[in-house]
Structure 1
Amino acid sequence: MIETHIDDARERATAEREALAAKEASMQTFIDRVAGIGPESTSTAATAGAAQGMTLTATGGTNGGPSGSCGKIRNAFAETVQPHSAPEDGGEPLLETIRVELTDSVATALSPETATPLSPELKRAIVSEAQRRQTELEVMYQALDSEAERLAEAAATVEEVTSWLVEADETPLSELGFDALARRHERLAAHRETCQRLAADRQAFLDGTTSDAVETGVRNDHIVSQLYEDFPVEYPVLVTAGRLEELCLDCQHVVRDHLTRRV
């Protein structure tokens, strides 16, 4: 079996899909924990929702001090979502991770320095942002699921062509007669067409999106560019298909030379 960039891509897609599934589950756990935290009295504070374009404002907790309930929410986020969101070195501050996952407004409202009391409106806003983020994660997971499926199909196609090439290479061209050489030339042409179809199908996939919803739809080429950004090639399937077609073409030229000598 010949390994290609597609094999590396399949490993990456599988790992990222598992990570996304874990992150989505952690977001649901966070939502459940927030639901169990009671709101506080806001006699000296005014808060508004962070979702649907609303802005969170605050003037302090009930006694002008830090909010205990907001602290519980920060702890819940740190124990559920942050391990699946922050860099592996764990150096990203908690509020920065909250900002990335749940918007600036939520991070500001949950900051100990802001001392925002947890009003019912703020609680709903936090849950709303978490649910919005969860939907985004679901769409990303669907994109990776689709990518994994297409990578498996591409790998099967490449395996079919490369297996034939390896097997055919075991018989020297000098041992083949004219008719056998002609059949090999035709087979190589067919494999070239297979590689061209693979590349065309892949390009069509890259030009599409994972969802018809404008709010959540993600372009496949954007997913792919992020997924393989540290790979030696940006588009593993296209590169593999292109190089394999070139190999088949080179083999065709060699076979054609042998054919002309037999005429």
Structure 2
Amino acid sequence: MSVDTYVERARTRVRTEREALDAKRTAFERFDRRVRSISADPTPVASTGAAVTGTEQRVKPAGDARCRDVRRAFEETVRPHSLDDVEGSGDESLLETVRSELTESIALALSPATDASFSPQLKRTVVAETAARRNEVKALEGALAREAARLSDAADAVDGVVDRLAVLDETPLTALGFEALEARHEALDELRSRCADLARRRQEFLNGTTSNGAEAAVAHRRLPPYLYRDFPVDHPVLSTVATLDATCDDCQRAVRRHLVRRV
């Protein structure tokens, strides 16, 4: 008996996404180190033409160059991994990516059009927002680790039901007597109980949350639309369970028809 399942495909998808998240977290860490290495010291005041005018004039800030360095650091570290997240995002400008990954205010402050200085406050803001994003990625990595473990358990449970169905299917119903048919019906009941238990455990997991300390948390209900958006089904485990349960139900109906004929 052949039963289509989506669990193995889901496991492959989770493995791929965990690798991508690991690379993205590393990219944020590299970006953080580069931002911290850029000086945000205030530009000193210098005397210009004091012998002629007796006045002091502030030297033009070097903020443009430092903001440019931050933009370059972001482009070389985080941006490639950000564009991998969304299909069709290759046409997104650098500052649009900064806005989506950090904040609109940071993107505006780093824009060359604003001629802003890389002030200590701006540096603290960029570092703080980078830390927040890194914590979010870590929380998502934790959620995916738990999803991977649940999918492994689900795969074992699904394989057990499929294998048992295959064994039962080896003996046609026409070859079974009344008591054997009753035993077949009870065996199918037990398989349906396994399906119900797997569905219950899956729903419990989806109702949960994975936290990265107090910094970030991921509701498990967010995982299916994020992970399985390209799948033909929204919930691969629950869809697989529903298919298996329906298969067992069909088999039980056939058994009951044969039981009626033997009464």
Q: TM-score range by the shorter chain?
A: 0.7 to 0.9
Secondary structure of 1:252's aligned partner = helix
Q: Which residue is equivalent to 2:8?
A: 7
**Alpha-carbon contact 1:33-1:76 (below 8 Å) kept:** yes
Based on CA coordinates, which of the two structures has the bigger radius of gyration? Answer: 2
CA distance in 1, matches of 2:59, 2:190: 76
Give the distance between the partners of 1:181 and 1:215, measured in 2 at CA.
57
Match of 1:72 in 2: 69
Q: Which runs of 5+ in 2 are unaligned?
A: 46-57
- Please name the residue that 2:238 is paired with: 238
Q: CA deviation at 1:229?
A: 2.0
Structure 1 range deviating more: 21-30 or 205-214: 205-214
Unaligned runs of 5+ in 1: 45-60
Partner AA of 1:185 in structure 2: H
1:226-259 Cα shifts (integer Å, max 9, x gaps): 2212321111111111121111011011112222
What is the number of equivalent residue pairs in this alignment? 247
Residue 26 of structure 2 aligns with which residue? 25
State the distance in 1 between where 2:43 and 2:107 align.
19
Deviation of 1:117 after TM superposition, in Å, equals 1.6
Q: 1:113 is matched with which residue?
A: 113
Is the CA contact 2:61–2:117 (under 8 Å) kept in the aligned structure 1? no
Q: Distance in 1 between matches of 2:209 and 2:59?
A: 48
> Which residue does the alignment assign to 2:82?
85
Per-residue CA deviations over 1:10-40 (Å, capped at 9, x if unaligned) read 1111111111111011100110111212225
What is the match of residue 216 of structure 2?
216
Distance 2:14 2:248 in 1: 28
Residue 13 (structure 2) pairs with residue 16 (structure 1): no
What SS does the aligned partner of 1:67 have?
Answer: helix
CA positional deviation for 1:88: 5.7
Number of the residue aligned with 1:178: 178
> Does the aligned pair in 2 maintain the 1:6–1:237 contact within 8 Å?
yes
Using a 3 Å threshold, how does the CA distance of structure 1 residues 4 and 186 change in structure 2: closer, same or farther? same
Letter of the 1:105 counterpart: S
Q: 1:2 to 1:249 in 2, by over 3 A?
A: closer
Tell me, yes or no, if the aligned pair for 1:27 and 1:81 is still in contact at 8 Å.
yes
Alignment of 1:103-252 (within 5 A): 103-211=103-211, 216-252=216-252
Q: In structure 1, give the amino acid aligned to 2:180.
A: A
The amino acid across from 1:110 in the alignment is: L
1-structure distance, mates of 2:87, 2:230? 16
Equivalent pair of 1:13/1:227 in contact (CA under 8 Å) = yes
Deviations 1:130-184 (A, max 9, x none): 0010000111111111111111111111110011112221221112222222221
What amino acid does structure 1 have at the position aligned with 2:218?
A: V
Q: Structure 1 segments of 4 or more deviating over 3 A?
A: 212-215
Q: Report the 3-state secondary structure (helix = DSSP H, G, I; strand = E; otherwise coil) of the residue aligned with 1:218.
A: strand
The alpha-carbon deviation at position 212 of structure 1 amounts to: 8.3
SS at match of 1:247: helix
| Gap change, CA 1:161 and 1:241, over 3 Å in 2 | same
In proportion to residue count, which structure has more strand?
2
Amino acid in structure 1 at the alignment position of 2:80: P
1:246-261 paired onto structure 2 within 5 Å? 246-261=246-261
Which whole-Å CA distance do the structure 2 matches of 1:88 and 1:229 have between them?
12
Cα root mean square deviation, aligned: 2.1
Distance 1:20 1:179 in 2: 55
Contact 2:139 / 2:212 at 8 angstroms: preserved in 1?
A: no
